[in-house]
Amino acid sequence: MKTTFRDLGLMPYQQAWDYQENLMQQIISQKLTLLKNQTINQFTDNYLLFVEHPHVFTLGKSGSENNLLANYIQLQAKNAEFVHTNRGGDITYHGPGQIVGYPILNLDYFVKGIREYIEKLEESIILTLKEYGIDGERLDGATGVWIDTGIPGRTRKICAIGVRVSRGVSMHGFAFNVNTDLSYFNMINPCGFTDKQVTSLQKELGKEMDFESVKKVLRKNIAAVFTMDFSENI
């Protein structure tokens, strides 16, 4: 399925959120028009956005502010924002060195339901980790991608996932820690967990990663898992 890929670079969270919302509404409008006209052999737009955010903590609609362990003065000292958002999930952190992926997709073309959609996002990350010699796993009762799920006290998260779907169109997505400053996670209970660690590709491999190279590997795997045909459009 033809999908437009856009790398937005470093962009403030609210600006990227507004950008996603506009694309989502565009696709929903296209869906309704095609349905009304019973149009065949025409398709809605689809987008995959990659972005980095300045330091920001985001709280999902099912999350608790109690999982933010810092006050606003401490956040300011760390040049970090705190934003209530409309995705699913609890609290997480975004910052430089993290690949944040926002698929804005008409899911009718790609999956049979939200559960399958999340599993495909997870699979894309798992395949990417495999190329770097890391065994990524799913954790029962939680979304995202984890490492060492069978070792008590060692289980750690390398990718968080939180999505919103409206009229079968997705937004928000995943946050994959590559060269992320993990100290920021000390200011929250990541995704609401108090007994799990957070990690990054850099930490697992003991070296700073070529960020652009990791993006290319991840984009390739997303394309394979979702059967996407990318066009580049800035």
- Residues tagged active-site: 191
Count of CB atoms situated within 10 Å of the CB of 137 = 16
CA distances (Å), 26 to each of 4, 44, 106, 117, 205, in order? 14, 9, 11, 20, 41
CA distances (Å), 186 to each of 97, 124, 176, 225, in order? 17, 27, 17, 33
Those residues with Cβ within 8 angstroms of residue 35's Cβ, 6 or more apart along the chain or in another chain: none
* Phi, psi angles (nearest 5°) of residue 129: -60, -40
How many angstroms separate the first and last alpha carbons of the chain?
A: 19
